[in-house]
């Protein structure tokens, strides 16, 4: 049954995708790894493709491939450099091989909330980061928000010591590896599409993610519970291939940039709602959420924040100072 259902889902995706494209149109493939509804990235990608397919009809068309149906998040950037896909929005932790600047976003407790993340990204420093990988062939177009990360595991996590000795899936990021080591846990970098199975089979004991990912991929079903730590941020960069982008006709590039900018503004402004809905959906589906007292949360800060010093040279002390000023 599962196979039949996914075969139908795949056919539906392909049909929708090809229906949007007529002969002679510039084909823009957008590959991502999350679900499409009740998810900040899924919703933004759908809105972007709806607008492109309507407003640029005859000139360009966009096909969106969600749920890792086209590429996994460890393959998509290579595929983009090969010219096989034109847009993606990997989380900032996935650019490890291209730039160390984004490590600031993975440092635990660096940003107090999504408003602080938004302000930092919109600062001169944040905007300059979009071009930090141009030499390597990738151009960042817009930051897309998801939300703050929470920890889940196969046992209750209240004190930082509760995570010690457990295996945690992390995104492929040295900062996240160091963060889990600071907790005495064992970090296991893994692609997003493999996380549910790894939790279910006990290959790992826990993971960290946002409410929309915990709900969207049903991680809560195979965990004891989720602790609301808000210990870090998971955000995205909409990225493209520099040569492809620069090779576009100026009018097409301008129209695409404008639509993308408007979609970014609209959806980034709505991200708090999507996050809260996903959190509530976890509860409604029977998932357990544990809240921490300020003292309990502070204990996590005390154990995890020292990792900043390991990465200060990569991210720049001045950038840390800018982020901290924004928090105030
Ligand atoms: C993850 O790998 O946990 C996330 O980056 C997935 C995503 O794109 O939200």
Q: What is the pLDDT of residues 88-144, one digit of tens each?
A: 999 999 999 999 999 999 999 999 999 999 999 999 999 999 999 999 999 999 999
**89 CA closest ligand 1 atom index:** 8
CA 167, CA 78: separation in Å to the nearest integer?
Answer: 28
Q: Report the residue among 64, 199, 234 best suited for mutation to probe ligand 1: largest number of ligand atoms under 8 A from its CB.
A: 234
Residue 167's DSSP bridge partners are: 186
31 lines ligand 1 (CB under 6 A): no
| Token pair of 245 as six digits | 């982008």
Q: Residue 160 to residues 32, 110, 165, 206: CA-CA distances in angstroms?
A: 32, 18, 11, 13
Q: Report the residue among 170, 192, 271 best suited for mutation to probe ligand 1: largest number of ligand atoms under 8 A from its CB.
A: 192
- 8 A C-beta contact, residue 73 and residue 246: no
Q: Token pair 């509530």 is at which residue? A: 280
**DSSP character at residue 112:** S
33 lines ligand 1 (CB under 6 A): yes
> What is the reported pLDDT for 20?
79
| Token pair of 205 as six digits | 């004991």
CA 239, CA 84: separation in Å to the nearest integer?
Answer: 14
**DSSP character at residue 307:** G
Q: Is 281 exposed, middle or buried (0-12, 13-18, 19+ CB in 10 A)?
A: middle
227 lines ligand 1 (CB under 6 A): no
> What is the reported pLDDT for 3?
47
Split at pLDDT 50, 70, 90, the class of 1 is very low
% of residues, the chain, pLDDT over 90: 92
pTM for the full model? 0.93
Three-state SS letters, 208-277: EECHHHHHHCCHHHHCCEEEEEEEEEEEEEEEEEHHHHHHCCHHHHHHHHHHHHHHHHHHHHCHHHHHHH
Whether 16 has a pLDDT exceeding 90, the answer reads no
Q: Residue 47 to residues 34, 241, 244, 267: CA-CA distances in angstroms?
A: 15, 21, 22, 9
67 lines ligand 1 (CB under 6 A): no
Mean of pLDDT over the chain:
94
What is the CA(171)–ligand 1 centre distance, in A? 7
Q: What is the pLDDT of residues 252-275, one digit of tens each?
A: 999 999 999 999 999 999 999 999
Whether 17 has a pLDDT exceeding 60, the answer reads no
> What is the reported pLDDT for 19?
63
255 lines ligand 1 (CB under 6 A): no
223 lines ligand 1 (CB under 6 A): no
Q: Report the residue among 30, 31, 32, 33 best suited for mutation to probe ligand 1: largest number of ligand atoms under 8 A from its CB.
A: 33
**212 CA closest ligand 1 atom index:** 9
Whether 18 has a pLDDT exceeding 60, the answer reads no
Whether 237 has a pLDDT exceeding 50, the answer reads yes
What is the CA(91)–ligand 1 centre distance, in A? 6
Write the ipTM.
0.98
Whether 278 has a pLDDT exceeding 50, the answer reads yes
213 lines ligand 1 (CB under 6 A): yes
> What is the reported pLDDT for 74?
85
Whether 15 has a pLDDT exceeding 50, the answer reads no
> Which residues have a Cβ under 8 Å from the Cβ of 216 and sit 6 or more positions away?
34, 35, 38, 39, 42, 278
What is the CA(199)–ligand 1 centre distance, in A? 15
Whether 190 has a pLDDT exceeding 90, the answer reads yes
Q: Token pair 């490890």 is at which residue? A: 96
% of residues, the chain, pLDDT over 70: 94
91 lines ligand 1 (CB under 6 A): yes
């Amino acid at each position: 049954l599962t196979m039949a259902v996914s075969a139908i889902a795949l056919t539906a995706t392909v049909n929708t995708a090809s229906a949007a494209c007529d002969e002679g149109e510039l084909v823009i493939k957008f590959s991502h790894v999350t679900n499409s509804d009740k998810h900040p990235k899924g919703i933004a990608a759908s809105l972007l493709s709806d607008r492109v397919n309507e407003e640029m009809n005859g000139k360009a068309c966009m096909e969106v491939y969600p749920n890792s149906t086209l590429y996994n998040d460890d393959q998509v950037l290579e595929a983009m450099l090969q010219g096989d896909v034109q847009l993606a929005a990997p989380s900032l932790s996935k650019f490890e091989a291209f730039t160390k600047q984004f490590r600031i976003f993975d440092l635990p407790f660096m940003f107090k909330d999504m408003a602080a993340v938004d302000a930092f990204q919109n600062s001169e420093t944040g905007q300059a980061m979009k071009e930090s990988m141009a030499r390597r062939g990738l151009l960042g177009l817009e930051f897309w928000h998801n939300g703050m990360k929470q920890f889940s595991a196969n046992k209750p996590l209240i004190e930082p010591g509760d995570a010690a000795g457990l295996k945690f899936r992390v995104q492929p990021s040295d900062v996240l590896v160091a963060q889990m080591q600071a907790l005495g846990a064992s970090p296991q970098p893994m692609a997003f599409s493999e996380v549910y199975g790894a939790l279910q089979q006990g290959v790992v004991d826990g993971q960290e993610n946002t409410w929309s990912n915990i709900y969207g991929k049903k991680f809560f079903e195979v965990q004891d519970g989720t602790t609301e730590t808000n210990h870090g941020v998971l955000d995205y960069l909409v990225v493209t291939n520099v040569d492809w982008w620069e090779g576009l006709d100026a009018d097409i590039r301008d129209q695409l940039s404008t639509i993308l900018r408007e979609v970014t503004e609209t959806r980034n402004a709505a991200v708090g709602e999507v996050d809260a809905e996903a959190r509530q959906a976890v509860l409604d589906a029977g998932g357990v959420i544990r809240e921490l007292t300020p003292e309990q949360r502070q204990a996590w800060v005390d154990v995890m924040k020292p990792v900043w010093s390991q990465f200060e040279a990569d991210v720049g002390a001045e950038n840390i100072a800018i982020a901290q000023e924004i928090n105030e």
